[in-house]
Structure 1
Amino acid sequence: MRLKDKFRFIRQNIKKNKARTYMTILATAMGCAFLIVLASIGYGLQQSVVKDTLEDQTVTKIDIYGKEVDGNYQSLTMEDVQSLEKLDNVRSVTRKTQLRQYPTYSLDDYEISANAVSTHFPSELAAGLELDEGRLPEKANEVVVGYHFANNLHLETEENPYDEDTGEIKEELRYSGSIIGKTITMSVQKSAEEDKAEEIPLTIVGILKEPGREWLTNTDVFISQEVFQQVEAYTGTPGGELGVDSEILETTSLTSYDEVNVYADNLEAVQGIVDTLNEENYASYSVVSEMNQINTLFTIAKAGLILVGTIALVIASIGIYNTMTMAVTERAPDIGIMKAIGANPKTIKQIFLLESSYIGIIGAFIGTIVAYVISIVVNIALPMILEMAFSQEMPEGLQFSAIPWSLVVIAVTICLVVTILSGTGPAKRATQIDVLRAMRREV
């Protein structure tokens, strides 16, 4: 019996029992749609979390916290930096040293307290440092400031300069105008007990680009090593730290670094570099490690959601089994005729398995389309509903549902397997029908 004839036989049965077949297809489609939509929540939230993680941090960045030597962790030195720069697939190694007191900066009647950081600009540029305005420092007294430095520069006042509602500097107290080319005075203390301060004039020549995340604020002032050492010489303590019993500054804190970051050539190279760092006893962290943990958790969650969705298809399979069993009973005379003219039992079995597969394919196709529609509606409507219900704004770009092709393939495969298994029993029963009883309609 040709495949074309088998499909003709199947279509004839469907036409005779349209309502029953269509309801079975509808149940299969609903089960498939439920499976896809349920699992799509796991995929959607995973994409949102991973996207947020990637935007929050540079994906090729590896933070180095120290190196274990004789059971103790030590700060990294220039020797360590040079060793790290020699590793394969390393694009840049940045290093920063932070002043260990919080200087005050003044410009005319305006002031701000902010971190002072000494950094190596050539390595920062290689790592992707960008300026919003101006240029990099060329002289010892020239500095680059963070993007939000000017917005937090405010008039000297005894009252709280911050707005209670927004948490930002009050508009009437905020500095307006460009700060490029302006000279600010950095005031550093000699000790915590004394009010005496050293005033160092600095010229702002550049402003860093705005951080990638809206909630990040950067008001740092990037000073030269010469200014950093000037502060150390004035305070007599490493990094200008206050409250340290040190009469003589024997070694400057610039011989070690507070923050060292390794930047890989690409994302694929990060894990290899991290493995090498672990072997050499460096304490490190990279966003790749966090992503692996996130992906593992979401993989487990997606597997659970797919399992729950599969239960809906199993329930739908009961309807398929019932439909196919009735089809076998109603077509007993046809089966008897086919057997009488020499049809192979295998051929009869294939006909009923094809019919159950036909129901599964149509149901999966309809279910997939419905799932995509529901996914679009969920992503548009659900954030609005949650905002109205809880009066809380949802994070920008939050995606509740996502349907990748892999999920569609998984769902369709499960749907076909379930429908074929549902039709196996009735198909086997069809091959066991007695020809004479079938002809007399005694089945």
Structure 2
Amino acid sequence: MKLKDQFRFVRQNMKKNKTRLFMTILATAMGCAFLIVLASVGFGLHKTIIKGMTEDRAVTEIEVPGKEENGTFLPLTDKDIKYFESIDNVKAVTRRQVLMQQGNYEIDNYQTSAETIVTHVPSEVKAGFELSKGRLPEADNEIVVGYDFVESLANKDAKQEELYDETGKVKEEFRYTKDLVGKQLNLTVIQYVDGQEQKKVIPLTVVGIGKKPGREWMIDQNVFISEKTLSEIEEFTGTPRGMIKSQGEEESPEVDSQSYDYVKIYAVNLEAVQAITDSLKQENYPTYSVVSEMEEVNKVFTVIKAGLIFVGTIAILIASIGIYNTMTMAVTERAPDIGIMKAIGANPGTIKRIFLLESSYIGIAGAFIGTIVSYGLSYIVNYLLPIIISSSFGQELPEGLMFSYIPVTLPLICVIICYAVTILSGYRPAQRATRVDVLKALRREV
């Protein structure tokens, strides 16, 4: 019997018991839909976390806090920077030094305090630093401020208890509302001499404002000054980075003025991050990057997704009982047909294949229908669940949270599992069909 004839024979026989066939396919489809939707929760949460991690920071960024040498942790210097820049596929190496006292800034009748940083501007530009307004500094007394810096400038005459709103920001009526580019800010730094506070005012000109942070909750109020300005501060305080001596302290704290507080390496692409990280670890540089964090997250979610798929497979195994029952009844009902086939010379392999084809049809049809249903359920879950949680518990969920996500691989996994289970379910009835006695079959005595 040709394969085409076998398929026609299967279709003809399946039409005889449409109700039973429909219920068996329905049970299989429900099992497949349960597997896909259940596992999609793991895939959805995984995708949401990875998306949040990659949006919050550059995926090609590698943080290097220092170097381990002979059991000690050393700060990074220009020598280390040169080595980092020599590594293959390194796009840029940014390095920052932080003023070791809070910088106090004033303009007109407004004031604020902000973290003051010295950085290597060309490296920052290579790494992707952008401005929303103005230009980069060219003179020693020119500075760039963060996007949110102007909103932190508050009127000096405002009462402290009236100054901030419920979110902790300066109220609009007390903010500096003019364009800051081209204006002069006065930076005030302090030191203590014989227990007496002394101040130094350094005039600085704002020439640029940083780009708005990528996330709504991120705040950038930093101020970027030149190395010349930092040297002027150090000359006044007599300490590295403008650190303030405690009263009665004779020696300045041990801080290497030539070292860097923050060093970040930027790879040319995501694929190069791991190779750069491996090179750094060989030279005893501890590193931290999104890639290493994602590896840990991926390990955890791989276990979670495998567990969910395993639980979902149980539903398909339950549906396989119905397939086994359907195929067993099919063998019983078609005993005369099997007897005739054997009488005219059909070999046992052909008979077995016919019943396996029928069970495979049930499994594939169920998997196909279950996949379509699961996509619909996934859409409904992502749309309705945030509304239900918000209305029931009064909690606003994070933006972009995805409860259910179905990648292409998940339906494929489901089809493979379903096909394997249905073949196993139909194998024993198919084996039984090959052992039907011809004479008894023709007398309908199976």
Of the three residues 261, 268, 271, the one matched with 1:268 is: 271
Residue correspondence of structure 1 range 254-333 to structure 2 within 5 A: 254-333=257-336
Equivalent residue number for residue 214 of structure 1: 216
- C-alpha distance in 1 between matches for 2:80 and 2:281: 14
Structure 2 CA distance for partners of 1:139 and 1:254, relative to 1, 3 Å: farther
Q: Does 1:384 align with 2:393?
A: no
Shift of 1:234: 0.6
4+ long deviations beyond 6 Å: 248-252
Indicate if the aligned counterparts of 2:24 and 2:323 stay in contact, CA closer than 8 A. yes
- C-alpha distance in 1 between matches for 2:253 and 2:63: 29
Residue identity matched to 2:28: T
- C-alpha distance in 1 between matches for 2:228 and 2:254: 15
- C-alpha distance in 1 between matches for 2:257 and 2:217: 31
- C-alpha distance in 2 between matches for 1:139 and 1:7: 83
Taking structure 1 as the reference length, the TM-score comes to 0.97
Residue identity matched to 2:239: T
Residue correspondence of structure 1 range 29-428 to structure 2 within 5 A: 29-156=29-156, 157-160=158-161, 162-191=163-192, 193-243=195-245, 253-428=256-431
Indicate if the aligned counterparts of 2:245 and 2:252 stay in contact, CA closer than 8 A. no
Indicate if the aligned counterparts of 2:132 and 2:212 stay in contact, CA closer than 8 A. yes
Shift of 1:23: 0.2
Match of 2:95, SS? strand
Match of 1:196, SS? strand
- C-alpha distance in 1 between matches for 2:275 and 2:172: 49
Shift of 1:84: 1.0
- C-alpha distance in 1 between matches for 2:379 and 2:253: 66
Shift of 1:247: 5.8
Shift of 1:8: 1.8
- C-alpha distance in 1 between matches for 2:105 and 2:325: 81
- C-alpha distance in 2 between matches for 1:285 and 1:251: 26
Indicate if the aligned counterparts of 1:189 and 1:198 stay in contact, CA closer than 8 A. yes
Match of 2:405, SS? coil
Shift of 1:336: 0.5
Unpaired runs of at least 5, structure 1: none
- C-alpha distance in 1 between matches for 2:39 and 2:254: 59
Structure 2 CA distance for partners of 1:272 and 1:246, relative to 1, 3 Å: farther
Indicate if the aligned counterparts of 1:143 and 1:203 stay in contact, CA closer than 8 A. yes
Match of 2:221, SS? coil
Match of 1:282, SS? coil
- More deviation, 316-325/156-165: 156-165
Match of 1:62, SS? strand
Residue identity matched to 1:76: L
Indicate if the aligned counterparts of 1:76 and 1:256 stay in contact, CA closer than 8 A. yes
Residue identity matched to 2:273: V
- Aligned CA-pair RMSD: 1.6
1:161-189: per-residue Cα shift (whole Å, max 9, x none)? 55342221111111112100110111111
- C-alpha distance in 1 between matches for 2:408 and 2:233: 60
Structure 2 CA distance for partners of 1:13 and 1:367, relative to 1, 3 Å: same
Shift of 1:196: 2.5
Unpaired runs of at least 5, structure 2: none
Aligned residues with identical type, % of pairs: 57
Shift of 1:212: 1.2
Equivalent residue number for residue 433 of structure 1: 436
Residue identity matched to 2:306: A
- How many equivalent residue pairs? 443
1:324-371: per-residue Cα shift (whole Å, max 9, x none)? 000000000000110111110110000000000000111111000001
Shift of 1:261: 0.7
Indicate if the aligned counterparts of 1:183 and 1:202 stay in contact, CA closer than 8 A. yes
Match of 1:76, SS? coil
- C-alpha distance in 2 between matches for 1:44 and 1:252: 47
Indicate if the aligned counterparts of 2:25 and 2:365 stay in contact, CA closer than 8 A. yes
- C-alpha distance in 2 between matches for 1:253 and 1:121: 21
- C-alpha distance in 1 between matches for 2:379 and 2:438: 53
Taking structure 2 as the reference length, the TM-score comes to 0.97
Shift of 1:158: 3.9
- C-alpha distance in 2 between matches for 1:105 and 1:3: 85
